[in-house]
Amino acid sequence: MKLHESLNIDLNEINHEIKNLVTRDKDVPKKSQLAQSILELTGSGGKRLRPLMVIVGSRFGRKPAGRRTLQLSAAAEFIHVASLIHDDIIDNAELRRGEPALHTKTGIQSAVHIGNYMSARVIELLSKYSGDKDRYVHDLSSVATAQLCLGEYQQMEHVFDYDLTLEQYLEKSRNKTALLMATCLKVGALSAESTDEIAQLLYDFGEALGMSFQIQDDILDFTQSADVLGKPAGSDLRQGQVTLPVLIALKDAELAPVIRRIGPASSAGDVAHVLELIKGSDALARSEAVSQDYLAQADAIVQQLSSFPAHADLETLLRYFAGRDH
């Protein structure tokens, strides 16, 4: 069963709202490359994890979810897709979800503008919520988006930095991945008038889930084939990303000097050799254990929310993240 089916969420409704974000902008001609690219990108599948989190969050409110919840869920996907457009440019990635990345089709300049527009369109959409009690709505377009950009910047600052600390790695992962997920659950809850305490618990749940997600992503870069990843395996190492498996392997006195020799000019053979060394060490199992720790933290929060029927949806999310195979 697909995740949205297990959560009993109608994906068509979300997809319709996502489409509206561009088609309802009267300043954007329907046949323009901008509109067509966004429709193609947002229509090309994807698990809609973040929108689903917004909807699940809303099930912890005191009122039923309404149009605002749906708009927030569409906004979350827009921010996510915008960030991936920019990410693929930065990473020089040819493929996204197995398809040619946008910049390979439109050129880098257009793709940058399309990403910027999507991010700005969310601000435009949400700016109509301007009352004092609506303030939380902007957490998605302001705080979470700023954290996303900051995380990406922190990652770039530490390319091939083998002295990166665990704390720096975790902070970058939190900013880049976990806090958007946390915010999705929180704004979903507040959009249905949850209490602040419950919204905060959901935020913490989303943060723990997101940390586990990012660590899993870092592990998959070592374990999955290019076919499954939709991009070449080992891309992180090749691009100088010092992820958790690398950080753990760097603690091994024999592995450390070999890893440290990998730099921008390393050959594919050298990178492949180090990949195999790391795979042959206990670094992946130990990274998996850290990821499991975050899932256990998330699980403890679910227990605190057990009086809500929707706690079962958090368990569904947890199971999905625990068994994630991309």
Residues that bind Mg ion (CB under 5 A): 87, 91
**Can you give the C-alpha Rg of the chain in angstroms?**
20
- To ligand FPP, the closest distance from the beta carbon of 177 in angstroms equals 5
In the region spanning residues 141 to 170, those forming contacts with ligand FPP, defined by CB under 6 A, are 145, 148-149, 152
- To ligand FPP, the closest distance from the beta carbon of 152 in angstroms equals 4
91 contributes a contact to ligand FPP by CB under 6 A:
yes
- To ligand FPP, the closest distance from the beta carbon of 111 in angstroms equals 11
Q: Identify whether the C-beta of residue 151 lies closer than 8 Å to the C-beta of residue 175.
A: yes
Which DSSP symbol is given to 26?
A: T
Q: Give dist(CA 325, CA 242) in Å, integer.
A: 22
Site for ligand FPP (CB under 6 A): which residue of 121, 176, 186, 311? 176
Site for ligand FPP (CB under 6 A): which residue of 57, 61, 115, 210? 115
Binding partner at 115 among ligand FPP, Mg ion, none, C-beta below 5 to 8 Å by kind: ligand FPP
Q: Give dist(CA 129, CA 116) in Å, integer.
A: 21
In the region spanning residues 177 to 206, those forming contacts with ligand FPP, defined by CB under 6 A, are 177
152 or 193, CB closer to ligand FPP?
Answer: 152
Element (H, E) at 269: helix 268-280
99 contributes a contact to ligand FPP by CB under 6 A:
no
83 contributes a contact to ligand FPP by CB under 6 A:
yes
37 contributes a contact to ligand FPP by CB under 6 A:
no
**Beta-carbon count within 10 A of 185 CB:** 31
Q: Identify whether the C-beta of residue 186 lies closer than 8 Å to the C-beta of residue 139.
A: yes
Q: Residue 3's closest CA among 64, 58, 50? A: 50
Q: Give dist(CA 106, CA 41) in Å, integer.
A: 12
- To ligand FPP, the closest distance from the beta carbon of 16 in angstroms equals 22
193 or 232, CB closer to Mg ion?
Answer: 232
Q: Identify whether the C-beta of residue 129 lies closer than 8 Å to the C-beta of residue 68.
A: yes
Q: Give dist(CA 188, CA 297) in Å, integer.
A: 21
106 contributes a contact to ligand FPP by CB under 6 A:
no
Q: Which residue is nearest to Mg ion (CB)?
A: 91
Q: Residue 172's closest CA among 223, 242, 233, 231? A: 242
Q: Which residues bind ligand FPP (CB under 6 A)?
A: 79, 82-83, 86-87, 90-91, 93, 115, 119, 145, 148-149, 152, 176-177
